[in-house]
Amino acid sequence: MSSNPANLWVLLGLGLAGILIITKRLKKAVREDFGAFVAKLQLLPPPQPAPPKAPHPLTGLTFAVSDIFDIEGYVTGFGHPDWAKTHDAASRTSSVVSALVEGGATCIGKTVVDELAYSINGENKHYGTPTNPAVPARVPGGSSSGAAVAVAANLVDFSLGVDTIGGVRLPAAFCGIIGFRPSYGIIPQVGNLPISASLDAVGWFAKDPSVMRRVGHMLLQLPFGVQRNPRQIIIADDCFQLLKIPVDRISQVVIKSAEKIFGRQFLKHENLEDIFLSKVPSLKQLHDKKMNGAVRTSSMRSLANIMQVLHRYEFRCNYAEWVNVEKPNLDHSISAQINENLEIQQSEIDIYKSIRNEMRAAINSLLKDDGILVIPTTACLPPKLGAKELLSEDYQISLFSLLSIATLSGCCQVTIPLGLYDKCPVSVSFIARHGGDRFLLDTMQSMYASLQEQADLYSKPKSLSNTDTRERSAEIAKEKGNQAFKNSQWQKAISQYTEAIKLNGNNATYYSNRAAAYLEFGSFLQAEADCAKAISLDKKNVKAYLRRGTAREMLGYYKEAIEDFQYALILEPNNRRAALSAERLRKVFP
């Protein structure tokens, strides 16, 4: 009897050892797969052509596809086991997948998507949430979460997803890889499940910019052409104000990189809010009706709402009947949105379609054939797994305000990683006009190495020179001034801009911004002086001419004010504010 306790301890020890071994094996399996795949398979490319013909363009590359692309003989699971149970295996392979295999790449599996590819969080309670290799405690982003994780974990060279409301761009940003959403309608979608037909675009992920470009040339069926560099890089200042991390961590990386490669003269700053309200009349009417023009960036919020409504409306048209008949075990938030009483008239849908057409025309007019628009991909770092933040309206709106720009306009967008901030991936996005996909891919590849170099410098403050440190501090002070200005705190804004000028007195923007605050404060002489200084530093600073014109008008210097507004028109012939101000003053003071 005395040996029984000893035996029990031995058995218990063996049991614990067994559990530890099994746990280690399970962890190893998770580390190897990262939960990215729902099915492993193999689609092999055709034999290489005999010399002297060139080999297939994607030879040697492996890829995976989100489980919304058909592959012959496999059920397209759509992120939900009940969908897989109620649908037959595909009789044909998606045209996009076939084109990649014919091009020399090997498909090795299908990857996890969010339930019915509806969400953007990357979580799936049925198949498990793929582990974000860049930051495992945080969501990978969706809906093409598994495809992004497969690339980020080096399981494949590239992967396919569908980007409707951010399904490729967001997981690319959260996992720290490159993601591309092409121009709407440019890649056929035969053989993949529609989510929201007027918004869907086949997209792809990669880590290597050259792989990204090779895949793009294959999918877009681009003939050989000379690579073109941008002639204009436009920083969307108001979009960067949505960031919940220091603005300069992203914007200054792009600015320094662009200056190094192309020169300062190609850089320009714009507010998309102003452009959309002046160039998208249907949006302005809707914005004025619903928001009363009360809140800065409210038109961006309107775009976010429009995209959400279109996505939900078209998704319900496709799948509400299946949901009601099969009654699948859906995530509560998805079920609630599908079953919500969505009161929307056809006339409102028509207005949304008008807004999409006008947005595309506005962005095409802004960028033309050789312009790149720079925005943050996302306003925030990836949230923690299961965080309440994922379901909050503020979080959704902050994401969709940025993601809606390319989705609604149908323009192409590439997400580019810029290292880490607070141990989480950060990124920037470039947008080109609709149809400018080759140009955008070329720009991404030509700037990629420089962007990574600058991102590395900004992520290691100790390696910065004293001058760089002062410039960064000045930018931080400027951003604080911008926030104070946005909140109508004029004196605080003036104080912050003054601090920026003390740190870097050769930046025209700081003087111009302080002038704007002085105008609101009623200090017209100081505003005029600041604008004069800004113009002496930058002869093409349109905002400085406009603000000096306003200051001079308030001071009674009408002739000089007209001259300022006219010069602003020379620099920007389509500047409506300058034209109206000059015309108004000429009528009163001919």
Q: Which residues of 77-91 are buried (b: 16+ CB within 10 A; e: fewer)?
A: bbbbebbbeeeeebe
Per-residue pLDDT at 197: 93
Q: How confident is the model at residue 5 (pLDDT cuts 50, 70, 90)?
A: low
pLDDT band at 464 (very low <50, low <70, confident <90, very high): very low
**Tokens, residue 36:** 């990215």
Quick one: pLDDT band at residue 67, thresholds 50, 70, 90? Answer: very high
Position 336 scores a pLDDT of 82
* Sheet containing 37-43, strands listed edge to edge, beginning at the edge strand earlier in sequence: 37-43, 106-111, 62-66, 158-163, 201-206, 178-181, 412-421, 424-432, 371-376, 232-236, 267-270
Which tokens belong to 8?
């029990």
CA distances from 573 to 351, 531, 542, 569, 581 (A): 29, 20, 11, 5, 13
Residue position matching structure tokens 């990857």 = 111
**How far is Cα of residue 337 from the mean position of the Cα atoms in its chain?**
24
Q: 4-18, 65-79, 226-240: which has the highest mean pLDDT? A: 65-79
Whose structure tokens read 């914007």? Answer: 251
Q: 568-578 pLDDT, tens per residue?
A: 999 988 899 99
Please give the Cα distance from 428 to 476 (Å, whole number): 18
d(CA 528, CA 522): 11
Neighbour tally for 362: CB within 10 Å: 18
Whether residue 30 has pLDDT greater than 70: no
Place of tokens 């996909």: 437
Chain mean pLDDT for the chain: 89
Q: What is the mean pLDDT of residues 510-517?
A: 95
Give the pLDDT of residue 12: 55
Q: Cβ atoms within 10 A of the Cβ of 538, count?
A: 18
pLDDT at 19 exceeding the cut of 70: no
Contact 180, 201 (CB under 8 A): no
Q: Which pLDDT belongs to residue 297?
A: 43
Q: Are 443 and 390 in contact (CB under 8 A)?
A: no
Taking 50 as the threshold, does the pLDDT of residue 412 lie above it? Answer: yes
Mean pLDDT of 553-566: 91
Sequence length of the chain is 590
Q: Which of 190, 193, 160 is closest to 83 using CA atoms?
A: 193
Q: Indicate the range of 23-32, 180-189, 575-584 predicted with least confidence.
A: 23-32
Lowest mean pLDDT of 163-172, 186-195, 201-210, 349-358, name the range.
349-358
Q: Is the pLDDT of residue 51 over 80?
A: yes
CB-neighbour burial class of residue 215 (10 A; exposed 0-12, middle 13-18, buried 19+): buried
Q: Given this model, what pLDDT does residue 347 score?
A: 85
Tell me which residue has tokens 């799948």. Answer: 319
Per-residue pLDDT at 331: 86
The residue with tokens 């400018």 is 436
Instruction: Report whether pLDDT(406) > 70.
Output: yes
Measured between alpha carbons, how far is 23 from 16 in angstroms, rounded to an integer? 10
How far apart are alpha carbons 293 and 277 in whole angstroms?
A: 10
Q: Is 42 helix (H, G, I), strand (E, B) or coil?
A: strand
At residue 16 the predicted structure's pLDDT band, cuts being 50, 70 and 90, is low
- Reading the block at residue 280, the tokens are 């998208």
Report residue 12: phi and psi, to 5°: -65, -40
What confidence score (pLDDT) does residue 1 get?
A: 43
Contact 84, 35 (CB under 8 A): no
Backbone angles phi, psi at 484, to 5 degrees: -65, -40
With 60 as the cut, is the pLDDT of residue 353 above it?
yes
For the cut 90, the answer to whether the pLDDT of residue 511 exceeds it is yes
Residue 94 carries which DSSP code?
-
Terminus-to-terminus CA distance in the chain, angstroms? 116
Mean pLDDT of 369-396: 94
Average pLDDT over residues 555-559: 89
Mean pLDDT of 105-119: 97
Q: Residue 377 pLDDT > 60, yes or no?
A: yes
Q: Is the peptide bond before 52 cis (omega within 30 degrees of 0)?
A: yes
Place of tokens 């809906």: 143
Which pairing describes strands 371-376 and 232-236: parallel, antiparallel, or unpaired? parallel
348/286 Cα distance (integer angstroms):
10
Q: What is the DSSP letter of 391?
A: G
Q: Give the confidence band of 433 by pLDDT, cuts at 50, 70, 90.
A: very high
Phi, psi of 461 (to 5 degrees): -55, -30
CB 233 within 8 A of CB 374: yes
- Find, among 578, 554, 556, the residue nearest to 567 by Cα: 578
Q: Which of 344, 348, 363 lies closest to 407 in space, CA to CA?
A: 363
Alpha helices (runs of H) in 368-436, residue ranges in sequence order: 393-409
Element (H, E) at 17: helix 3-33
Residue 8 pLDDT greater than 60, yes or no:
no
User: 469 and 279 in contact (C-beta within 8 Å)?
Assistant: no
Helices 524-537 and 542-555: angle between axes, nearest 10 degrees: 150
Q: Outline where 92-154 has alpha helix (H).
A: 95-102, 145-152
Q: Please say if the pLDDT value at position 75 is more than 70.
A: yes
Q: Would the pLDDT of 11 be above 80? A: no
Task: Identify the top-confidence range among 114-123, 297-306, 323-332.
Answer: 114-123
Phi and psi at 521, nearest 5°, equal -80, -10
Question: Mind listing the pLDDT tens digit for each residue in 168-192?
Answer: 999 999 999 999 999 999 999 999 9
Whether 157 and 61 have beta carbons less than 8 Å apart is answered as yes
Q: Do residues 180 and 212 touch, judged by C-beta distance below 8 A?
A: yes
Q: Hey, what are 105's tokens?
A: 């790449």
Q: How many CB atoms lie within 10 A of CB 227?
A: 12
H or E element that contains 373? strand 371-376
pLDDT value of position 343:
75
Q: What confidence tier does 15 reach under pLDDT thresholds 50, 70, 90?
A: low
Residue 78's pLDDT is what?
A: 98
Compute CA 363 distance to the chain's CA centroid, rounded to the nearest angstrom: 16
The pLDDT of residue 33 is: 86
Q: Residue 274's closest CA among 240, 248, 237?
A: 237
Split at pLDDT 50, 70, 90, the class of 85 is: very high
